[in-house]
Amino acid sequence: MLSEDIEDADAALAQVQAALGEFRRSLVLVPIRDGGILTGDQGGLRWVFAFTDTDTLTAFAQARGEGGQWEFRRVYGARLLDETLAEISVPCGVAVDVGSEGAFLLPPVKGIVPDHVAVTGDSDEGASA
């Protein structure tokens, strides 16, 4: 039974690593609002919104009652994770295609986001500076 659990965990880890690699190589659309990237806060974490196509971005904007003509920037997932998140000073992950069937989260954990925006498990629930 334990070896099955280990095999399942190894398979799950491989899937996560493959999805992360695909995201890092892909161009995504990041909405720009008030001169900065659009984020949302939930449960003490900040989430950067990113979209894989304009249709999904437009649907998200319309669902928020804000029309469908948002300014956005195209960036590679790697740049978003490595550079853009590096400028944020609170625990932060990426919410991809929010509001769609294909939505997924890249949580603020080490190995996915820069260490200083990863949740550390410390009592401050946040990044260590």
On whether residue 29 sits in a domain, the answer given is yes
Cα–Cα distance for residue pair 104/19, rounded to 1 Å: 10
Tell me which residue range forms the domain holding 76. Answer: 2-117
On whether residue 73 sits in a domain, the answer given is yes
In CATH, what number is assigned to the domain containing residue 68?
3.40.1350
Taking the complete model, does pTM exceed 0.85, yes or no?
A: no
Angle at alpha carbon of residue 111, lines to 12 and 56, rounded to 5°: 75
Total tally of structural domains belonging to the chain? 1
pLDDT tens for 72-129 read 999 999 999 998 888 888 889 999 999 899 899 999 988 889 888 888 766 444 444 3
On whether residue 124 sits in a domain, the answer given is no
- Residue pair 48/79 in contact (Cβ under 8 Å)? The answer is no
- Residue pair 20/112 in contact (Cβ under 8 Å)? The answer is yes
On whether residue 96 sits in a domain, the answer given is yes
